[in-house]
Chain A
Amino acid sequence: MHELNDFILGLFFADENNIIYENIKFSKELTELKKQELMVLPLKFFGPVFLTKAYSRSFNWIIKFIESTLSFKTQDIEDTSIIQSIFNLNSSIITDKGVTNLFAIIASPYTEDINFIYKKMMDYIHPSLLQVRSMYRQVVDSEIKVQQFLEEELERSINLIEYSLGSTRKIYWKEQVKYYCVGVIERKRSRNLSIKELNIYTFNKDDPLRREHLEDIPSYYVMVILTEYYEKMTNITLDIFEMVNVNSNIRQIELGAKDKKVLYLEEYSEEDDIKKSYGVILIPMEDESENVKNKSFYKKNLRKMLDGNISFENFIKIINPHFILEKWAATSNIELEKIQEILDKKD
């Protein structure tokens, strides 16, 4: 609701056949090369959305929300004209022909009231797109014309989101939810890429708890891919829009399926040109068990471990005493296949 200076706003609609329509607004002049890079952005952002659907062990899991924090690449930057928040929202609606997705990428100089924007997408914008499509399919005889109307509606939608930007983030009062951790993701990367690690820690493969909680997440394979992929994609986006002095760091990812929810929280630290990120895969749980904790417990212990106040071994014990220190690497396709074959196997 304010005039935005630096901003990126992309709205991508994928129909049941994964055909994508997009509308992107931004505040900077782009070169032809950057514009070409921009063209493939929607498909890249949708990649994990389609993958999550395809590789979920059960239900129709959907990515709902991805948020990154931003950090300066170097310490001697004085430029204050930078974005304050960058996040992705995805609304999925199932039709009789399959799933349609509406995905937004938003970078803004304000903290943004994400719930407010997400509600607009789910309750108004996404249903409007489907209704406009239904109406024109019945009144015009050409699918190309239907697509034109769909694109006009997407333009209308992006204007509404743009107008809704600029509100300060609100704290919504919610009942305290408690979570149980089903996995820890470790990422290490040096600037020159001589170090590049992606690992997951969880229950022993033979532990019945691993099998029991497989229904509560899309799959370990999907979870381990999402963080690395979206952090990279956010950095690519920032680069296209020449916001080159900042790096993105994944902070939170939310996924949902029917009445299920997965929350992924991540914290990072950077030392000697090596960035270390650790995240916890959480599922809501109502049990009064001592291993069921609130969100701040996990954040606090992630921070403690990254700041060197507790060892990684202790961190794992605190987060979930049923976890073992066996590392499941996930950098190569072979390693990922192993995760699918063993960790994601029910029997």
Chain B
Amino acid sequence: MEKFDDLYKINRERFLDNYRVTENILKGTEKNKVKIIAQWLVDNQSVGPSQESNIEIINYYSKYLKKDKTLLDFALEWIRAQKIRSRYMLDLIKTHFPSDNSNLVIDYFISSFFIKYNKILRDLFKDTIQEYELSALLEIIFASEREQNFIFENHMEKHKNNPQCPTLFKGSERIDTSILTLRSGLANIIKRDYESRVKIPP
């Protein structure tokens, strides 16, 4: 969708400059890089459920990062996801769908806003990451900042047990199920956002 081309752009240098300020302030403390990034995301960027949860999330996914990707690359993708979320919310409050067709709402927003993000996110990780782990991550990084009572273990368990998001192989080759993963990760968010939106008359 041409009109959303700018949606995926973030000013990487500006965010990195901003991070360096936080890093310099916290340099003297005993905090390691994961803790500094987790705090920066929550305090400066309003991203993530809480510092503690952010630490768990970054630690968990860091083991899958490709060799040429850093923890900051991961953090920047989280910020990019939240930028996409803001733009998607603007569209969501203006859009009306026929009642009781939640699949249509999910398909419309995934195909319009999130489909391109799939490649960006996958580019961070090694092939050993499972589809349920990507689906769980999608639900984390696109969640509303208001998200409360987040428990990382429970969240991962929920996605692990979702049969709609399998990691499939044909021989040694992984089968592309990326759209099913997007649906699995984003369906609840989209449904919840749509149901609780402030409606603007057409």
Contacts and interface: CB of A to CB of B under 8 A. Distances in A.
Interface stretch (B17-25, B121-129, B173-181, B193-201): B173-181
A135 B168 contact: yes
Contacts of A120: 111
B111 A123 contact: yes
A142 B152 CA distance: 37
B85 to A, nearest CB: 19
A119 interface: yes
Interface in B1-26: 1-2
B179 A127 contact: yes
A138 interface: yes
A134 B175 contact: yes
B101 interface: yes
A160 interface: yes
Interface residues of B, number: 23
A134, A139, A172 pick with most chain B CB within 10 angstroms: A134
A132 B181 CA distance: 11
B1 A131 contact: no
Contacts of A139: 163, 166
A96 interface: yes
A229 interface: no
B103 A156 contact: yes
13 contacts: A124-B107, A127-B178, A130-B176, A131-B177, A132-B180, A134-B176, A134-B177, A135-B177, A139-B166, A156-B104, A159-B101, A160-B104, A163-B104
B108 A160 contact: yes
Contacts of A23: none
B168 A134 contact: yes
Contacts of B177: 131, 134-135
B187 interface: no
B45 interface: no
Contacts of B168: 134-135, 138
A127 B166 CA distance: 16
A116 interface: yes
A162 to B, nearest CB: 9
Contact size range, A = 20 to 34
B46 interface: no
Contacts of A134: 168, 175-177
A135 B103 CA distance: 18
Interface in A97-146: 116, 119-120, 123-125, 127-128, 130-132, 134-135, 138-139
Interface string B156-172: 00000001101010100
B110 interface: yes
Interface string B94-133: 0001100101100110110001000000000000000000
B179 A131 contact: yes
B1 A119 contact: yes
Contacts of B103: 156, 159
A163 B170 contact: no
Contact of B107 (A96, A130, A131, A160): A160
A124 B1 contact: no
Nearest to A132: B180
Contacts of A164: 108
A120 B104 CA distance: 13
A121 to B, nearest CB: 10
A295 to B, nearest CB: 21
B97 A163 contact: yes
